[in-house]
Amino acid sequence: MGTERGTVIPASHTDEVAALAENYARLPAGEPVRLAKATSNLFRFRDPAAGPGLDVGRLNRVLAVDPSTRTAQVQGMATYESIVDAHLPSGHIPLVVPQLKTITLGGAIAGLGIESTSFRNGLPHESVREMEILTGDGRVVVARPDNEHAELFRGFPNSYGTLGYALRLEIELEPVQSYVRLRHLRFGSAGECAEAIASICRDRAHDGHPVDFLDGTVFSADEQYLTLGEYRSDAPPTSDYTGQQVYYRSLRTRQTDHLSIRDYLWRWDTDWFWCSRAFGVQHPLVRRFWPRRYRRSDVYRRIVSWDRRFGLTDRLSRLRGGGGNEPVIQDVEIPVGRLAEFLEFFHAETGISPVWLCPVRLRDRKGWPLYPMDPDTLYVNVGFWSAVPLRPGEEPGTHNRAIERVVSELDGHKSLYSNAYYGEDEFWRLYNRPAYQRLKERYDPDGRLPGLYDKCVREK
C-alpha cells in the first residue's frame, strides 16, 4: 500500500486496519463506542466499563521515516515517547512534541496538544499532511487539506473521537541538535512577562541569541519565569532531572542550564510538571526510594484515577471540616494582551501555584473550525492542574465555571480534555455547532460515536 505521495505503507498496517474495521462493524448497534486503550491523558474520569471498547492498541508504531522530505508515517496510537525514540537517531523530531510521554499522536490531533515550539510551529495538527481515519459510519477514509475529505481534515482537531479515530498520519519533522541551552528570565509582574513573550515571539530571539523553545512558569503574582531554549551542537556537562533533582525548582536557582535534547523534551514528564509533589515524590527521602521507572506522568495519573474512583482525598477533606475539593485541571488560551488580566483574576480567585505558560500562534491561516483561534493573534496557553478546597455548602464546579466565564470574556479558548461546565447553547457558540453538525451528519449519521457536547460536558 502507498500514499498519494508515494510512501510505501507496510502491509501489516493495511491488515490491521482491515481487522479493526471488521471489529467495529461487529460492535452492537445503538451503543456508543469507545477506545479500549491502556493509557489516557484525559481528565474526564468515567466508569471504565461504560460502552463497548474498540481495541486499537496494535496501531502504535512508526511505520516509515523519510529524513529527505522530513516526513514520517505514524499510527494513531503511537505515543510521543516512541515517536521521539524512532526519530532522534536521524536527528529529527515532530514539529511539536507535547510534554508528556504517553500522549498519543492521534490523541494530540483529535484533542489538541502544545509545547514550547508552539510559538513558531503552532499546534500538532498543523504539521499533519494526511490522516487515515475510521469514521463513525465504519468507513476508512484518507483526509487531506486538498481532497474530498478536506472538511473532515479541518474539523478533526478538537473532535475528541466523536467523528472517528486516526489510524495513520503523515507528519512533518524538523532537524534537531543534540543539546538545548536554557535561560531562565525572572519577571516581577505579569504585564512585564506578557510584553517579553510578545517581543520574543515576534523576533524569535532575545538579547542577541536565537530562541527555539519558549515556555514559562508562574509561582506568584510577583515571581514568574520565561525559559528560553536554544539548540546547541555541544554543551558543558548537562543536568539530570530524572534523578534526585526536580526540574521546575531549578528555574528559581539557575539562570542558565543545559540538557540533552531528549531530556529537554521530557523535562516535565518526570514530575508531571510539579504535580508529583502531591504524592510526596519530591521529598528527598521518598524520591530516593521511589523507583526511577515509576517517575512518570502515566503512573501519577493512574494514582489520581484511583483516588477519584474512591474519593479518598474528598473524604479526608471533609473529616478535617472542609467542604471537599474541586479539581481545577485546565488549559486555556488567552490573547497575550489579556494575559495579565487573566492571571490577576486567577491568583485572587483560585490561587493554584505554579502555573504553566506556553505561547502559541497558528501556522495555518485557514484555521480549524472546532477550535476557532484567530491566526493573527498570539495566545498564551495557561495550564493549571490541582484541586481547590470548597467551602462548606459550595458546589463542585464553582471555580471551573468562574474560569470558563473569564476566559470567554477575555476572548480566549478552553481545551476540552478535562471537565467542562458550559450550558449547551454557550458550548456550541464557542465550538462551532454548524461545522460540527455537518461533519457528524456526513461521517457518523447514526450517532454510533458520542456527540462532542455529550462527551466533553455531560459525561462527568
C-alpha gyration radius of the chain:
22
Residue 4 pLDDT exceeds 60: no
Residue 316 pLDDT exceeds 70: no
Q: 77 and 14 in contact (C-beta within 8 Å)?
A: no
39 vs 297, higher pLDDT: 297
- Percentage of the chain beyond pLDDT 70 is 91
Q: What is the pTM of this model?
A: 0.93
User: In this predicted structure, what is the pLDDT of residue 388?
Assistant: 92
Residue 66, Cβ neighbours under 10 Å: how many? 16
Residue 103 pLDDT exceeds 90: yes
Domain spans of the chain? 11-176+447-458, 179-267, 311-421
Which residue do the cell numbers 505503507 mark? 9
Which residue do the cell numbers 473521537 mark? 161
Tens digits of per-residue pLDDT, 385-444? 999 988 777 888 999 999 999 999 999 999 999 999 999 999 999 999 999 999 999 999
Category of 272 on φ-ψ map: left (φ > 0), alpha (ψ -120 to 50) or beta: left
Query: Residue 277 and residue 296: Cα distance in Å, rounded?
Result: 13
Average pLDDT rounded to a whole number, residues 36-45: 61
- Percentage of the chain beyond pLDDT 90 is 81
The mean pLDDT of the chain is 92
403 in helix, strand or coil? helix
Average pLDDT rounded to a whole number, residues 215-227: 98
User: In this predicted structure, what is the pLDDT of residue 305?
Assistant: 79
**Rounded to 5°, angle at Cα 66 from 65 and 67:** 110
| Residue 408 dihedral angles phi and psi, to the nearest 5° | -65, -40
Residue 315 pLDDT exceeds 80: no
Residue 456 pLDDT exceeds 70: yes
| Residue 180 dihedral angles phi and psi, to the nearest 5° | -130, 125
User: In this predicted structure, what is the pLDDT of residue 325?
Assistant: 85
Secondary structure string (H, E, C) spanning 230-293: EEECCCCCCCCCCCCCCHHHHCCCCCEEEEEHHHHHCCCCCCCCCHHHHHCCCCHHHHHHCCHH
The angle, 0 to 180 degrees and rounded to 10, between the axes of the packed helices 297-310 and 312-319 is 60
Bridging pattern class, strands 179-187 and 209-210: unpaired
Looking at domain 11-176+447-458, which of 3.30.1490.190, 3.30.465.10, 3.20.20.220, 3.20.20.70 is its CATH number? 3.30.465.10
Tens digits of per-residue pLDDT, 176-213? 999 999 999 999 999 999 999 999 999 999 999 999 99
User: In this predicted structure, what is the pLDDT of residue 384?
Assistant: 97
User: In this predicted structure, what is the pLDDT of residue 393?
Assistant: 79
User: In this predicted structure, what is the pLDDT of residue 318?
Assistant: 59
User: In this predicted structure, what is the pLDDT of residue 458?
Assistant: 84
Cis peptide before 445 (omega within 30 of 0): no
Residue 7 pLDDT exceeds 60: yes
Average pLDDT rounded to a whole number, residues 114-136: 97
Residue 52 pLDDT exceeds 70: no
Residue 457 pLDDT exceeds 60: yes
Query: Residue 46 and residue 175: Cα distance in Å, rounded?
Result: 40
Residue 319 pLDDT exceeds 90: no
Average pLDDT rounded to a whole number, residues 37-55: 61
Q: How far is CA 195 from CA 200, 202, 349, 380, 419, in A?
A: 9, 11, 24, 12, 31
User: In this predicted structure, what is the pLDDT of residue 45?
Assistant: 54
Joined together, the cell numbers standing for residue 24 give 467495529
Lowest mean pLDDT among 46-60, 103-117, 278-292: 46-60
Residue 113 pLDDT exceeds 90: yes
Length of the chain: 460
The angle, 0 to 180 degrees and rounded to 10, between the axes of the packed helices 339-349 and 398-409 is 160
Tens digits of per-residue pLDDT, 10-37? 999 999 999 999 999 998 887 778 777 6
Residue 47 pLDDT exceeds 80: no
CATH topology for 311-421 is Alpha-Beta Plaits (3.30.70)
